[in-house]
Amino acid sequence: MRRKYDATPYFEFPLKSNRKVVQEYLQKYDTLSQLLDANPTILDLAHEDFKKLSEENDNTDQKRNRSSTYTSDSLLRALIVQCIEQVGYREAVIRIERDDCLKQFCRLGPGEVMDYSFLSRAFGVLSPETLKEINRCLSGYAIENELMDPTIVRTDTTVVETNIHYPTDSSLLWDCARVLIRLLRDGRTYAPDFLNNRFHDKKLKRLFVAITRGSRSKAKGRKAKINKRKLKKSFRKLISGVQRLVDVAEPFVVYATSAPTIELNRIGAALESVLPEVKKVVQQSIRAQLNGETVPARERIFSIFEPHTELIVRGKARKAVEFGHKILLTEAEGTFITDYDVLRATPNDRHLGERVIERHKKLYGAAPEVLAGDAGFHPGEEKRQDLEEQVDVLAIPGKVSDRIKKELAPWYRFRAGVEGTISVLKRAFRLFRCVYRGFNNFATNVGMGVFCHNLVLLSRLQI
């Protein structure tokens, strides 16, 4: 059974230093610890998710009737350290083991630090809904101690990218080919009589390389037409090769999933999970490269590893499109993030103003007195009147003349502060790119970043 915290006190050596930078480091984690102790509901919420770890027979609990080695309190604090220090699970475990300050913060006592794989599983059981409730609890604490005023807020959106390469049709087809070939070769090890095919992976790779190099050609006139025909021919062969692998994989999935061996079951399940995405890639490649269609983004898949990824057009000079999900942030004065939402099937920003107000009412019981946003949030003249009836000041410029209104100028300057918070989240809390797989882990990563940002902010306000 997973314990919530360790009630047995143990001796802690006082950590001191004459260097200012070390004193600030020690003070930061000491204040973070006090904040977590002052909000026991945070641990209660996390503990409900960490209980799922106790249902598994992990390497720390050899018997089910034995209490867990690591408490929920230690696991939550270790994940906070990992986020704040911006390191992976291995590096986080090493730092906690070697740093007395971090080890005391995680309340591990004289015992050993948890294994990095176990810490990874601890993150995996945290749900996005739990992180939202944790952030709501921290907001209540900030309001109660007059560290945050939720009546004046600013809002903006940003994009957190998924961990994928730039998705061209040829690169997606090669991803499909190499994944299918790897799994089928693994399957041939256990079922050589069923799989006696040749996979031609070197031929498919040569086609992929030829397409990649040919598409960069700047030839003109007759030479360009010849090059275009060659590219189309190479695409046809590459698509045909991937489709042949699909035809081989489908009957093998039926065989492997019903086989009596665990190894074949595992390979069959992996193939079964990836085949739908592979078929989508094949179909969109046929439409775009062979039929000459313009395939809409909503009908495309941009990664077989992260199929939830969306294409988002931001109109930036250096980065026209981004691949990930749009994040809606609402922030009070002092850069405390009062609310966040991970958007799926990304709506236009002009539809989000009403959403911000409704979510604020649900969280804090009333609409904000001031809502500031950039011109992208302007909902149109008819909808703007509805929003103005709900808030006292709606500082969202619609026309150029709105930007020079003296009464709204201070709120426009106030709105610009959210850009700095977005920069901090991306640089200091790992929200530039999510390295975790799956949409749930993506949303959990965003929630953990926002939670640690607010936690560090409150610790600075209380020092």
Write the CATH number for 313: 3.30.420.10
What pLDDT score was predicted for residue 58? 47
Residue 458 inside a domain? The answer is no
Average pLDDT, integer, range 339-344: 94
Position of tokens 């990649």?
212
Residue 405 inside a domain? The answer is yes
Same domain, 33 and 49: yes
Same domain, 98 and 183: no
| CA 257/CA 272 separation, integer angstroms | 9
| CA 245/CA 184 separation, integer angstroms | 9
> What is the total count of domains within the chain?
3
Domain boundary among 244, 265, 299: 299
Same domain, 377 and 291: no
Work out the angle between the directed axes of helices 20-38 and 439-462 (0-180°, nearest 10): 110
Same domain, 93 and 160: no
Answer yes or no: are the C-beta atoms of 199 and 185 closer than 8 Å: yes
Nearest-CA neighbor of 4 among 38, 59, 48?
A: 48
Helix, coil or strand: residue 55: coil
Answer whether residue 187 shows pLDDT above 80.
Answer: yes
Over residues 393-417, the pLDDT tens digits come to 999 887 766 666 777 888 988 999 9
Same domain, 313 and 294: no
What pLDDT score was predicted for residue 164? 95
Same domain, 272 and 370: no
Beta-carbon contacts of residue 206 (< 8 Å; ≥ 6 apart):
none
Residue 285 inside a domain? The answer is yes
The whole domain housing 424 covers 131-164+309-450
The residues that bridge with 332 in the sheet, in sequence order, are 153
Same domain, 324 and 439: yes
Q: What are phi and psi of 310, to 5 degrees?
A: -115, 150
> What's the chain's average pLDDT?
89
| CA 297/CA 346 separation, integer angstroms | 12
| CA 374/CA 131 separation, integer angstroms | 27
What pLDDT score was predicted for residue 61? 46
Question: Using 50, 70 and 90 to split pLDDT, how confident is the model at 440?
Answer: very high
What pLDDT score was predicted for residue 463? 66
Answer whether residue 49 shows pLDDT above 50.
Answer: yes
Percent of the chain with pLDDT over 90: 69
Same domain, 263 and 205: yes
Domain boundary among 266, 299, 332: 299
Among 41-45, 55-59, 131-135, 455-459, name the one with the lowest average pLDDT. Answer: 55-59
Residue 412 inside a domain? The answer is yes
Name the strand (E) or helix (H) holding 313: strand 310-313
| CA 25/CA 28 separation, integer angstroms | 5
Same domain, 380 and 404: yes
